[in-house]
A and B are shown apart, each in its own frame.
Chain A
């Protein structure tokens, strides 16, 4: 139904006064996904932005300051949502931010998709906000032959309307001026017409609202939420004095309207939103009939998501991204490694040679070594994020979800689970953060929980040490592939189990808009990469730094009162080079330390899966960061050079352990105890320790059991 724009005085549009502001101007950016909102946000704030999380939910909160405005202003980029129907965490967050009453709400729309995108504007108007309408991607709309009478639109709506081309910065000056204008002259009442029957019902309910539930702005919104039976608003209003009456009235109107129209009330209301938008567009938009702005996209998609060629093509693209990540990333990794080594040496020189100052050891071995071990992976992370941001901005990533949906569905996952899982091969941390794109909480948790089974980059040094130690050359490459494959298979199986037990529930219906293919801009891709890696770096500076210090203490203290090797040397039983003596001392240090004792204490637990105290001690280190296992093994075996993947360490391993223990060790390290940083991120992203500890405990138990099976069955066979 198409509605005409009429003014009707009602309680919903009563004039109101806004108090003068004594704080910075608060501007919120709202818009559909794929409307180019982020490019507008970037153009307004530049680099003056920061990303955080909303408390308790996994929705990113992006905020920044805009220096262009007349008065100091804070910008909030709301998550992209189609509506404010509160069906996803993003929609709930956006609704809450808008209810908090920002001074100006910029509603960003894709000019080629106004019919759909303006529906959000209608809801923003119902909320009584003070809007500025931004018609973004105006160039594409013009190219398709569409013209908008902006002045007429401003007259009809009663607030500023601006055309922009966000990614090229066009119209940003006009947008800034419009925000200033809106801040000075807030809209007093919205001219919103949703049809006589609906308007009357909403007016009726709004009048019945008890005063505390009737914000000066947004009474129409509260009334609408009551009418459609939104549980949270209903509960909130019902708890108020006199609220029951409004709730009962809303129920009455709902029954009446549903009986009259024969359709679900929420569907009916949404139809009226569309009706208002149709009426508005009829007055302001001129375009030739039958324009297809999507011909190119449709043609590309005929190949890219082809039922047969689509998946192989996708595999090739992913392979290219990973190949680039790891080959190009090797160079800067070498530089960073050298830089960290030099920093360590430089710091060491502040103390006299041979000093065993604990502060020196803490700084050099604990902090520089620990944090450095994580920073080394930064180039890989940056490159992987760069590749993924590029694919995302072209529009290809959304196709990946489409292509993999069927396969993922079999295992209780979702098309959108695929990208986070693939990211996990680089590092679990950004992978877990990438699960944010999943709308359904159960899908998100399942993906998060099984993600550490993707063999991450930090585990590669372990495989490089262990595989050659136990397997002949011809078997090495297949063994590595089998390890990766085993991880994937187990992740899928576990996901299926989780969805059938703990995370049981209906599948979220898979509906996803595939954005048109676009040429990405360097600026947007680089910004995306930087804001995401920021979180990783911050983690290295906080969580990992703290863990490194703890671990350093655990592997350093208490010190043995004297060294056996010194005693032996004094007795003349041994003749060793100075560095060998150092290495023996380091081994004795470790054995005597908390970690060493813990290793010995725990050894009986791990005896059934073939591990001795040396392996267990090294594994304690691996819990901080997987790759530490290699260095710790080197220390336990008192190799002078730390034993980073050296042949001598491999020879010692092959001497001391059977290949069966080798396999059992790899199985355990692949599955069990994801590193501390992963647990910390899972805790933050899932919003509770419960899931983080389940991940830790569950994976460790499964790793132990499978290693036990390998070990015991192997012993029977051999």
Chain B
């Protein structure tokens, strides 16, 4: 199922399909191992448009809500 990352909930396994953010943010995500094609687990999401916490290949990455909105993922 294809959804925006913000629509995922705790425990979901996701694969990144598309990143519609600017170049700086896209490169930063890639440097953290979260480029297109990467798989990650949603460790935590905060209520009321708070940041998300993703776990991926041994790294935890916190993502602001507004950035997570721009990431399209496939979740099973």
Contact = CB atoms under 8 A, between A and B. Distances in A.
Interface of A: 32, 82-83, 85, 87, 112-113, 115-116, 119, 264, 266-267, 270-271, 274, 292-294, 297-298, 301-302, 305-307, 398, 401-402, 405-406, 409, 415, 507, 509-514, 516
A82 B60 CA distance: 15
B58 A292 contact: yes
Contacts of B31: 32, 82-83, 116, 119, 270
B47 to A, nearest CB: 6
Given A509-B21, A514-B61, A415 B51 contact: yes
Contacts of B13: none
Given A82-B32, A509-B21, A509-B64, A113 B53 contact: no
Contacts of A409: 64
A307 B51 contact: no
Contact of B25 (A119, A406, A509, A512): A509
Q: Which 9 A-B pairs have the closest CB atoms?
A: A510-B64, A406-B50, A82-B31, A514-B60, A509-B67, A509-B25, A402-B62, A512-B62, A87-B24
B45 interface: yes
Contact of B43 (A83, A298, A405): A298
B64 A116 contact: no
A514 B33 contact: no
Contacts of B45: 307
A509 B46 CA distance: 16
B48 interface: yes
Nearest to A510: B64
A511 B59 contact: no
A151 B26 CA distance: 35
Which of A112, A302, A510, A516 has most chain B Cβ within 10 Å?
A510
A406 B53 CA distance: 13
B58 A511 contact: no
B57 A266 contact: no
Contacts of B21: 509
Contact of B55 (A116, A294, A307): A294
B43 to A, nearest CB: 6
Contact of B50 (A297, A401, A405): A405
Nearest to A86: B24
A415 B44 CA distance: 16
A199 B49 CA distance: 43
A270 B30 contact: yes
Contacts of A511: 25, 28-29, 32, 61-64, 67
Nearest to B45: A307
Contact of B64 (A270, A305, A405, A516): A405
A516 B44 contact: no
Contacts of A301: 43-44, 53, 60
Given A113-B59, A115-B57, A307 B46 contact: yes
Nearest to A116: B33
Nearest to B32: A513
A87 B27 CA distance: 10
Given A267-B26, A267-B27, A510-B62, A406 B49 contact: yes
A700 to B, nearest CB: 34
Given A112-B58, A509-B21, A510-B67, 4 more contacts: A267-B30, A301-B43, A509-B67, A511-B64
Contact of A116 (B22, B24, B32, B47): B32
A85 B27 contact: yes
13 contacts: A87-B24, A112-B58, A113-B59, A115-B33, A292-B58, A293-B58, A294-B59, A297-B60, A301-B43, A301-B44, A415-B51, A510-B67, A516-B58
A301 B51 CA distance: 14
Contacts of B60: 294, 297-298, 301, 513-514, 516
A85 B25 CA distance: 11
Given A509-B64, A514-B61, A267 B44 contact: no
